[in-house]
Amino acid sequence: MKLTQEQADFILKEFGVDLEPGKEIRLDSKLRWDIHDRAFDIEVEELPLNEKDPWSTRCRLAVEVCNVMYEG
């Protein structure tokens, strides 16, 4: 899986895990699912109640990271 700089910065800030953006990375299964689950928790916290309201940057990044970790 590859992360963008913004996604890597988000993971470092939110979870304290320093991952290199733009390069293929492999994580052990436990760490990958830990990041996925924690990103999902942020997604649930941050999703607006009204589906027409815009997503925060934190919500968007949590969704992206959750998806990348799921696919990885």
Which residues fall within 8 angstroms of residue 7, CB to CB, at 6 or more apart? 21, 61, 64, 65, 68
DSSP letter for each residue of 12-52: HHHH-----TTS-----HHHHHHHHHHHHHHHHHHS-SSTT
DSSP state of 56: P
pLDDT in tens, the chain (72 residues): 899 999 999 999 999 999 999 999 999 999 999 999 999 999 999 999 998 999 999 999 999 999 999 876
> Whole-prediction pTM value?
0.90
